[in-house]
Structure 1
Amino acid sequence: MDVSKDWLDTHVVPGGAAGRFRNDAAGIAELAAWCQANGVELVVMEASGGYERLPFLLLWELGVACGMVNARSVRRFAEAMGFLEKTDRIDAAVIARYGEVKRLQPTQPPSAAQQRLKALVARLSQVTGDLTVQKQRKSATTDAETIASLDEVIIVFKRQSRRLEGEIASLIDDDPQWACLDQAFRSLKGVASRTVARLMAELPEIGVLSNKAIAKLAGLAPIANDSGKRSGRRPVRGGRAGPRSILFLIARIVARYDPHLGAFHQRLQAAGKEKMVIRIALARKLLVILNAKARDARKEFANAT
């Protein structure tokens, strides 16, 4: 299924049945009935800047399993298969074929609590960014009337920030497993409540996947680039930008207090590694540590229950 703001274009493989439905509750209900009539086992869709959320959640509620795929991977698959043209109908057919070739498994929908946590964390990030902008504007002006106006806006954003932080903390405390994970993460000095909330909202797989898989999911796993006798530079690419950015930010802070991470940082510097290489390596090392703590916390919680 190709997803846009207003429309959902579909293509079934095998068979080639195609359809178009509106991207709203009524259209998605029609789509679910159409899928059942055509014996659809899985609806495959790309992440489309948020337009996919409503059909993804509603289709699951209506008993139709869905799977999510990376848009860049699908585009490269299309080019490799000779599909240079790009229309909604062609994209739907390519996505269906990609899901079939990859033998894609369903992507389980997040719980209501997970959805709310992600929404609250996203809004807190927006408010924090807006607050920073207003403070910068205040520091750049000397006009008394402008400063007074900015002060009013800053007060509003600070109030919203405190309210959102309180709601996030309550949501985490009310969930026994989340509370256990929160305690495990914050046992590392330098990992604050906002960091915990970001990781739990945007990287819920932490503690479930292997160290290699979680690093790849966050875009912190080096990609092999060797050919014959050549051993090329191993870049990092893709992954979830939100968790990666927060790990970049706090890894240096945690390294000041954690002896193992601090020693790792010093070894990299002594070896003459580039600053960006050190930054990526520290973030990946911290993620591996957090993943191990989350894995232990999940086991402890499972045994306790």
Structure 2
Amino acid sequence: MRPLALPITLLAIWGLLAHAGLDAAGVAELATWCQANGVELVVMEASGGYERLPFLLLWELGVACGIVNARSVRRFAEAMGFLEKTDSIDAAVIAHYGEVKRLQPTQPPSAAQQRLKALVARLYQVTGDLTVQKQRRSAAADAETIASLDEVIVMFKRQSRRLEGEIASLIDDDPLWACLDQAFRSLKGVASRTVARLMAELPEIGILSNKAIAKLAGLAPIANDSGKRSGRRPVRGGRAGPRCILFLIARGVARYDPHFGAFHQRLQAAGKEKMVIRIALARKLLVVLNAKARDARKEFANAT
């Protein structure tokens, strides 16, 4: 496939990778082409993890990269009149989207951040598998089947303990993470797994404003007004992982923390729907954690 001749200093990656090959050698070939042609920024869609290898390798090879939301690019393409979808059209549209948006490079995560995210993801996979095996164990009647399931359950429990230990050690070994961990867990009801998931999947916590972090987690109400009409303001988008864990623990925090408990009761007394209360509690918890993280980062910076 012939590389796109773009009149801008951006490049949509997938067209060239389809030609070069989605491996280290192909990415190196792409990096060489970018450097030879004065490409300042490689733009790629988030594609469920498939973009991770070229993203990290290109940064290592000195080529800046930016990641964009695939749904936003598709809607942009349709707004520009591109209802068709081919590799060449996608590549051109992604590059044009990056130019119009004036996209800034997406900085790569540190090695420690990548490892933390991988460990947390694996822990939740093991936890999910363990739940499934326990459900099968409770429904089993055959002795041989039960014995087999017991072996698998023991294995998953062993892996879960090992992963939890590695995650705890990784957090303790990083002074800033240890400081954040202490700040988060000062709120009763916030456990170590919650802290690990937030730090792995929402590393911007304590850096962004309350409104920005809420939108990033998909907990910010989206305006839906037109003229004199004031529509319902739903939440949508954002990162599902942090949002799910906040949903789970916010109700628990409301049981222990009188401030959250009173907030919950006020919403109930006002006749708010259950889902509205759930979202409001999760958003309030995120705002409190963001404030704690902001203070912890300031204290850490002043101490160092």
For 1:164-197, what per-residue CA distance to the aligned partner results, in whole angstroms no more than 9, with x for missing partners?
A: 0000000000000000000000000000000000
The residue that corresponds to 2:154 in the other structure is 155
CA distance in structure 2 between the partners assigned to 1:221 and 1:69 by the alignment: 20
SS at match of 1:294: helix
For 1:67-115, what per-residue CA distance to the aligned partner results, in whole angstroms no more than 9, with x for missing partners?
A: 1111100000000000111011111110000000000000000000000
CA distance in structure 1 between the partners assigned to 2:65 and 2:96 by the alignment: 15
How far has the Cα of 1:260 moved from its partner?
A: 1.4
CA distance in structure 2 between the partners assigned to 1:295 and 1:261 by the alignment: 20
For 1:208-259, what per-residue CA distance to the aligned partner results, in whole angstroms no more than 9, with x for missing partners?
A: 0000000000000000001111110000000000000000000000011111
SS at match of 1:43: strand
How far has the Cα of 1:63 moved from its partner?
A: 0.4
CA distance in structure 1 between the partners assigned to 2:149 and 2:64 by the alignment: 49
Aligned sequence identity (%): 94
CA RMSD of aligned residues (A): 0.5
* TM-score with structure 1 setting the length: 0.92
CA distance in structure 1 between the partners assigned to 2:88 and 2:158 by the alignment: 47
CA distance in structure 1 between the partners assigned to 2:269 and 2:209 by the alignment: 29
CA distance in structure 2 between the partners assigned to 1:232 and 1:62 by the alignment: 49
How far has the Cα of 1:261 moved from its partner?
A: 1.1
For 1:103-130, what per-residue CA distance to the aligned partner results, in whole angstroms no more than 9, with x for missing partners?
A: 0000000000000000000000000000
CA distance in structure 1 between the partners assigned to 2:140 and 2:256 by the alignment: 38
Aligned residues: 282
- Structure 1 position 169 matched with structure 2 position 155: no
The residue that corresponds to 1:227 in the other structure is 226
How far has the Cα of 1:141 moved from its partner?
A: 1.3
For 1:254-301, what per-residue CA distance to the aligned partner results, in whole angstroms no more than 9, with x for missing partners?
A: 011111111111110000000000000000000000000000000000
Runs of 4+ in 1 over 3 A off after TM superposition: none
For 1:9-49, what per-residue CA distance to the aligned partner results, in whole angstroms no more than 9, with x for missing partners?
A: xxxxxxxxxxxxxxx00000000010111111111111111
- Structure 1 position 112 matched with structure 2 position 117: no
CA distance in structure 2 between the partners assigned to 1:158 and 1:151 by the alignment: 10
CA distance in structure 2 between the partners assigned to 1:279 and 1:245 by the alignment: 11
SS at match of 2:67: strand
SS at match of 2:82: coil
CA distance in structure 2 between the partners assigned to 1:273 and 1:143 by the alignment: 48
How far has the Cα of 1:201 moved from its partner?
A: 0.1
Q: Which runs of 5+ in 1 are unaligned?
A: 1-23
Indicate the larger mover: 113-122 or 224-233: 224-233
CA distance in structure 2 between the partners assigned to 1:160 and 1:89 by the alignment: 45
How far has the Cα of 1:52 moved from its partner?
A: 0.3
SS at match of 1:67: strand
